[in-house]
Chains A and B, each alone.
Chain A
Amino acid sequence: MKTREEIFNILKQEFPEDVLELLNQPTEPIIVASPGAIHNICFYLRDTEGLQFDSLMVLSGVDDANGEKQTEEDGSVTINGGTLSVYYHLESLSLTQKVTLKVSTPRDNPEVESVESVWKSANWHEREAYDMFGIKFLHHPDLRRILMPYDWDAGYPLRKDYKNPEFYQGMKVPY
C-alpha cells in the first residue's frame, strides 16, 4: 500500500509535463493533472505493478466558479472565465489503496480526455458530468445527455450561473 505522496512521486517521474502538483487538502491530498493527458495517466495507474487502480469509484464534475462574476439587472449572476474541474476517485481493490486526481479545464471551452477506455464505468459518469456541467469528454463513444431530456437546450443545470428557462415544451418551469 502506497501513500498519496509516493503515488504522486511515481507519477511525476513518469509524466513530468502532465502531472502538475499535489494539493494538500485538509481531507486528502489531491493530484492535479492536465486534462489532455488524463487518459494516459489513468492507463498507467491501472496497469502498473504496485499501483493497480482497477476501480474508478466515482468521477464528478465541479464548477469552480472562480471566474469574473457579473451581476445582471435581474439579480442573476454570469461567470466569465475561470475553470471547471473533474475529480477522479480511484481505488485499488487488490492493494486496498486509494487516490484522488483532479483536472481543471477552461470554462469557455471545457475539454477533457475521456477515461472510458480505461474503466467502462466512466461512460455514464462522464455523460453525467457532460449533462450537468457541459464538460466535453474527447473520444467518448456516446457523449449525450443522460438525465435531462435530449432536447434540453437551456444549458447545464449545475453550473453556478445557470438560469432555468421559462418554458419547456409548453410547460411552465418556474413555480
Chain B
Amino acid sequence: MKSLLDQEFSDSNIVVTKAEDLLNWARLSSVWQLGFGLACCAIEMMATSASHYDFDRFGVIPRATPRQADAIIISGTVTLKMATRIKRLYEQMPDPKYIISMGSCSNSGGPYWQHGYSVLKGIDRVIPVDVYVPGCPPRPEALLEGLLKLQEKIRNESLVKKTA
C-alpha cells in the first residue's frame, strides 16, 4: 500500500458553490409539509403522496406537527371556523414557511363563493399564499406542478434580499 503522500487526490468530491445556492437547494429539496387535509382536495393530495405519484421523490414528507413543517397545503374548503385554526397552525410553523393553496375553494371560495355563509372566500384573506393551484379538485399532476413552481420560487430566494 502507498503511503498517504503518494496517493492521488484527483477524485475528491469537492463542489464549489455559493452559500445561498446551497441553502436554497437544501430547502427546496426537502419541503416537509404539514400533514393536514380539509376536503376532497385532500384525497387528491393523499393520492399525490402515495406510490403512483410519489411526492417523496421531491422531498415532500408529511409531518405530524407544525413545528417540523416547512410548507402547508391548504387542500379544501376553508370554513370560518377552520380559518382561525389554520391561522394558529401557520403561526406555529418555523420560518421559512410556504403555503400552497390547492383547489378553487381555498383559492377563492369555489362553488361556495356566493351562498356559503360559513365559508372563507380564499385562504389568502388569512395567511399569505405562495402558489395557487387551480382545479376542483386539481389532479395530482397539477399539485406536482404547483410544488415545482414553489421549488422555483425557493431556488431564486436571496439571503440578503427579502423576496417573500
How many chain-A residues does the 8 Å CB contact rule pick out?
13
Are B121's CB and A149's CB within 8 A?
A: no
Q: Give the nearest-CB partner of B120 in chain A.
A: A171
CA–CA, A157 to B118, complex, Å? 9
CA–CA, A148 to B117, complex, Å? 10
CA–CA, A73 to B113, complex, Å? 24
Q: Which of B83, B118, B120 contacts A147 (CB 8 A)?
A: B118
For B70-99 the 0/1 string (1 means CB < 8 A from A) is: 000000000011011000000000000000
Are B126's CB and A171's CB within 8 A?
A: yes
Cβ contacts under 8 Å, A164 to chain B? 117
CA–CA, A148 to B119, complex, Å? 11
The answer to the question of A162 belonging to the interface, with a C-beta cut-off of 8 Å to chain B, is: yes
How many chain-B residues does the 8 Å CB contact rule pick out?
14
Cβ contacts under 8 Å, A168 to chain B? 80
Q: Which of A148, A169, A172, A174 contacts B118 (CB 8 A)?
A: A148
What is the number of contacts between chain A and chain B, taking CB atoms within 8 Å? 30
The answer to the question of B146 belonging to the interface, with a C-beta cut-off of 8 Å to chain A, is: no
Cβ contacts under 8 Å, B118 to chain A? 147-148, 157
Q: Which of A148, A157, A162, A172 contacts B81 (CB 8 A)?
A: A148
CA–CA, A168 to B87, complex, Å? 14
Are B121's CB and A169's CB within 8 A?
A: no
Shortest beta-carbon distance, A109 to chain B, in Å?
24
With A157-B118, A171-B120, A175-B121 as contacts: A149 and B113 at CB distance below 8 Å = no
The answer to the question of B67 belonging to the interface, with a C-beta cut-off of 8 Å to chain A, is: no
Cβ contacts under 8 Å, A147 to chain B? 118
The answer to the question of B114 belonging to the interface, with a C-beta cut-off of 8 Å to chain A, is: yes
Shortest beta-carbon distance, A148 to chain B, in Å?
6
Are A162's CB and B120's CB within 8 A?
A: no
The answer to the question of B125 belonging to the interface, with a C-beta cut-off of 8 Å to chain A, is: yes
Q: Which of B83, B108, B117 contacts A171 (CB 8 A)?
A: B83
Are B80's CB and A171's CB within 8 A?
A: yes
The answer to the question of B109 belonging to the interface, with a C-beta cut-off of 8 Å to chain A, is: yes
Are A169's CB and B84's CB within 8 A?
A: yes
CA–CA, A168 to B81, complex, Å? 9
Are B80's CB and A174's CB within 8 A?
A: no
| Residues from 115 to 133 in B contacting A, C-beta threshold 8 Å | 117-118, 120-121, 125-126
Cβ contacts under 8 Å, A169 to chain B? 80, 84
With A149-B80, A157-B117, A157-B118 as contacts: A171 and B109 at CB distance below 8 Å = no
Q: Give the nearest-CB partner of B80 in chain A.
A: A168
Are A174's CB and B121's CB within 8 A?
A: yes
For the complex with contacts A147-B118, A168-B80, A175-B109, 11 further pairs of A-B residues with Cβ separation under 8 Å are A148-B81, A149-B81, A157-B117, A164-B117, A169-B84, A171-B80, A171-B83, A172-B125, A173-B80, A173-B120, A173-B121
Chain B contacts to A: CB under 8 angstroms: 80-81, 83-84, 108-109, 113-114, 117-118, 120-121, 125-126
Could you show 23 A-B contacts with beta carbons less than 8 Å apart? A147-B118, A148-B81, A148-B118, A149-B80, A149-B81, A149-B84, A168-B80, A169-B80, A169-B84, A171-B80, A171-B83, A171-B120, A171-B125, A171-B126, A173-B80, A173-B117, A173-B120, A173-B121, A174-B121, A175-B108, A175-B109, A175-B113, A175-B121
